[in-house]
Amino acid sequence: MHIFHVFKLQIRPVRSNPHLVCVIGGLRITQWINSNNHHKRRLAITYAETESKRININHAKKYNFFLVFAITNINLPVAFLVLSTALEIYKKKTKKSSLLFARSKKFHVNGVSHNIRFFEPYPFVTRSAKGKFLKDIDGNKYVDYWMGHWSLILGHAHPAVSSQVKKQLPACWMHGTVNEMTVSFSEIIQKAVPVAEKIRYVSSGTEATMYAVRIARAITGKKIIAKIDGGWHGYTTDLLKSVNWPFDQKESKGIADDLHLVSMPYNDLQKSLEILNSVKDDLAGVIIEPVLGGGGCIPATKEYLLGIQEFVHKNNALLLLDEIVTGFRFSFGCLYKTMGLDPDIITLGKIVGGGFPIGVICGKDKIMDIVNTNSHTKLDRSYIGGGTFSANPITMTAGRAMLSHLKKNSGSLYGKLNALGESARKELTRVFDGKVVTTGKGSLFMTHFLSSGISEIQSAQDASKCDTKMLQRYHFDMIAKDEIFFLPGKLGAFSAVHSQSDLKDLVVASQRFAATI
């Protein structure tokens, strides 16, 4: 038996199956593959691919990869490193999920209850979650960077929250009357977010932004709301426009009126002001995220936000700052303070609910007064604030526990989280060697695979022109092979339970993926 010298290893994707990679080496096959002789080259490549596929199917049942030295029937020494495809690995290890998800599809449209939770071929089904891990019903354990739509900044089932919720449960989880914890929770929020002179709680971010829009229209007596291309504020009919690329197409049937919504490009002050100027007489408000989350994890420049604010206030409209993702994410409080902004309304959600359903509308007294049903008649009030489960005892307890813990640990906790995010952006950009830009801020980060001549990401337009399929492939590859979970195509978030060693694992997984593209 010969031991062949593995010479000049080459990694080649297999043409018939983009998930399959073969690594070929050996002096003659390398020479043949690199040669100008078309026939020899075809023969060598075809043989390598056929052999990889055969070996993959027959032998790679158990392992993600293995190395095989073979003498081919055309007498070429070849070394194959055969990798099972991510799809094959995933399917093999999520058999119970596959069956359960097939059942789920019988009851639920697309099998899910939030559109983005579906990914091909089917999402695994989670059984439990603790700390940094998600565990599925097949027993796989994933290091989680999705963290409950980025709401779980302390990780899953953190004792600081669960202990308080457990204490509250025997007393009551729902009564629909006033409770004490709402008051102490609001005290904490108001100290950290001075704009929150008055607060209303609801059960989702969507409700909060819907009410913010209604208040803006009620106060100004005007109708038009401006939003950002790629800005996502939940499923409220009022804001369902220009969310997904291409932004000039309607998002949905069934929207009776989106004429009172205009959309502008993020971080492009000149264009945005032109658009605002064209509607200024009927402009009720601008709703904007200080970091565009769903639209590509892109921070706004301070100049952009200040420029928009100046225009809005000069033209008797309201600045609605959506901090549902950014609130309590980078420091104990909101981002607006650090940017010198003076918003009229802030919406919060996600983190502040401690992992329970929440939306918060915060505003200055003079703004929020319009929702006061005692001092206003039907004709001059804005009617907001329903919700069977608004300010329910469990959410209020969990939110208060979350913010109390964050406040107590804010120095070390935010320092660590922001540093992890900073390193991730640097490391991932390095690993992909000019093929990506990693955007984000603090502990939020997202890898964009550059294409269409894009070299920097300032807006959702830029992000949408990148290779979003490659991003999904990258995330799916890590789910299958590395047990690292990002919701495919979405930004990732570090939480308090992640460490430097998780970052190292993420970098190694990314290096392995980078070698295949």
Under the rule (CB under 6 A), what is the footprint of ligand PMP?
149, 204-206, 209, 232-234, 289, 293-294, 322, 324-325, 349, 359
Nearest Cα residue to 188 out of 68, 327, 56:
327
In the bound state with ligand PMP, the residue whose beta carbon lies nearer, of 81 and 287, is: 287
In the bound state with ligand PMP, the residue whose beta carbon lies nearer, of 19 and 475, is: 475
Q: CB of residue 234 vs ligand PMP: minimum separation in angstroms?
A: 3
Where is 95: in which H helix or E strand?
A: helix 95-107
Q: CB of residue 211 vs ligand PMP: minimum separation in angstroms?
A: 12
Bridge-based pairing of strands 318-322 and 345-349 is parallel
Tell me the C-alpha distance between 472 and 452, whole Å. 17
Q: Looking up tokens 């709401």, which residue turns up? A: 151
- Residues 382/218, Cβ–Cβ less than 8 Å: yes
In the bound state with ligand PMP, the residue whose beta carbon lies nearer, of 163 and 252, is: 252
Tell me the C-alpha distance between 332 and 414, whole Å. 8
Q: CB of residue 294 vs ligand PMP: minimum separation in angstroms?
A: 6
The b/e string for 428-440 (b: 16+ C-beta within 10 A; e otherwise) is bbebbeebbbbbb
Q: CB of residue 317 vs ligand PMP: minimum separation in angstroms?
A: 20
Between the alpha carbon of residue 95 and those of residues 88, 102, 111, 123, the distances in Å are: 11, 11, 16, 11
Q: CB of residue 390 vs ligand PMP: minimum separation in angstroms?
A: 13
Q: CB of residue 82 vs ligand PMP: minimum separation in angstroms?
A: 40
Nearest Cα residue to 327 out of 223, 422, 188, 180:
188
Tell me the C-alpha distance between 462 and 448, whole Å. 9
- Residues 286/319, Cβ–Cβ less than 8 Å: yes
Q: Which two tokens stand for residue 355?
A: 């992992």
Where is 399: in which H helix or E strand?
A: helix 393-408
In the bound state with ligand PMP, the residue whose beta carbon lies nearer, of 206 and 438, is: 206
Q: Measured at the alpha carbon of residue 477, what is the angle toward residues 475 and 482, in degrees to the nearest 5?
A: 100
In the bound state with ligand PMP, the residue whose beta carbon lies nearer, of 25 and 359, is: 359
Tell me the C-alpha distance between 188 and 184, whole Å. 7
In the bound state with ligand PMP, the residue whose beta carbon lies nearer, of 149 and 481, is: 149
In the bound state with ligand PMP, the residue whose beta carbon lies nearer, of 205 and 343, is: 205
Nearest Cα residue to 321 out of 291, 343, 349:
343
Q: Which two tokens stand for residue 429?
A: 């950009």
Tell me the C-alpha distance between 133 and 150, whole Å. 14
In the bound state with ligand PMP, the residue whose beta carbon lies nearer, of 207 and 502, is: 207
* SS3 label, residue 415: helix
Q: Which two tokens stand for residue 27?
A: 């002096």
Where is 360: in which H helix or E strand?
A: strand 359-363
Q: CB of residue 116 vs ligand PMP: minimum separation in angstroms?
A: 9
Q: CB of residue 350 vs ligand PMP: minimum separation in angstroms?
A: 7
Q: CB of residue 499 vs ligand PMP: minimum separation in angstroms?
A: 26
In the bound state with ligand PMP, the residue whose beta carbon lies nearer, of 25 and 357, is: 357
* SS3 label, residue 71: strand
Closest-by-Cβ residue to ligand PMP is: 205
Q: CB of residue 287 vs ligand PMP: minimum separation in angstroms?
A: 9
In the bound state with ligand PMP, the residue whose beta carbon lies nearer, of 23 and 300, is: 300
Q: CB of residue 236 vs ligand PMP: minimum separation in angstroms?
A: 8
CA 4 to centroid of chain Cα atoms: 47
- Residues 328/414, Cβ–Cβ less than 8 Å: no
In the bound state with ligand PMP, the residue whose beta carbon lies nearer, of 293 and 421, is: 293
